[in-house]
Amino acid sequence: MSKKLQPVLVLNGPNLGRLGKRQPEIYGHTTLNELAAMCVDWGHGLGFAADVRQTNHEGDMVDWLNAAADKETPVVLNAGAWTHYSYAIYDACAQLTAPLVEVHISEPLERPEVFRHTSVITPHAVAVVAGKGLDGYREALEVVAAQLGSR
C-alpha cells in the first residue's frame, strides 16, 4: 500500500502565466507549464501532491487561500504584483494555519522599482525564498516539508 501524499498548493498570481515570454532576462525561458511539472516532481519527492495554479484574478486567489485555510493545506505563494499591495490577499494569508512560504523568482529588494520592496505576504510566511529563479520553488517546497516535519 502506497503512502498518501500530503496536498500542497503552489499558487501564482498575475502575469506568471506569461513565464517564458515575459521579461526572460528576469524570469527565464521556462514556461508555467514546465514549472508546474517541475513542482509536481519536486513535491512528489518530498511526499507532496503539488497542485500548481495561476490566476490573473484576485478573487480566485483569495478563494484558493480561503480553501487552503479551511483544509489546513500548506501553500507556496508567488503573488506577483499583489505581493506589494493586496490587502485582500494579506487578510486571506492571515487565516492560514499550515505553513505558507512566499516565493519570488527575482529578488524584489534588488529591483529598481521601490514599490517592489514591500510585501504584504511576508508577515504571514514562515519563510521567504527570493532571487533563486525557478529553483526557489523547490526550496520553498523543502521549507514546507521541514515545517511539517517539525510539527
116 marked among binding-site residues: yes
Report the interhelical angle of 58-71 vs 87-94 (nearest 10°).
Answer: 10
Establish if 35 belongs to a structural domain.
yes
- The pTM of the full predicted model, rounded to 2 decimals, is 0.92
How many structural domains does the chain have? 1
The answer to whether residue 132 is domain-embedded is: yes
106 is in an annotated binding site: yes
Q: Tens digit of pLDDT for each residue in 23-57?
A: 777 777 889 999 999 999 999 999 999 999 999 99
Nearest to 42 by CA among 8, 18, 67, 73: 8
Residue 105 assigned to a binding site: yes
Q: Which three cell numbers stand for residue 104?
A: 519570488
The predicted pLDDT at position 28 comes to 76
Q: Please check whether residue 117 lies inside any domain of the structure.
A: yes
CATH number, domain of 144, equals 3.40.50.9100
Catalytic amino acids?
A: 27, 104
Is residue 113 pLDDT above 80, yes or no? no
Tell me the residue range of the domain where 12 lies. 6-149
Residue 37: inside a domain: yes
Whether residue 1 lies inside any domain: the answer is: no
Q: Give residues with Cβ within 8 angstroms of 108, minimum separation 6.
A: 83, 116, 117, 119, 130
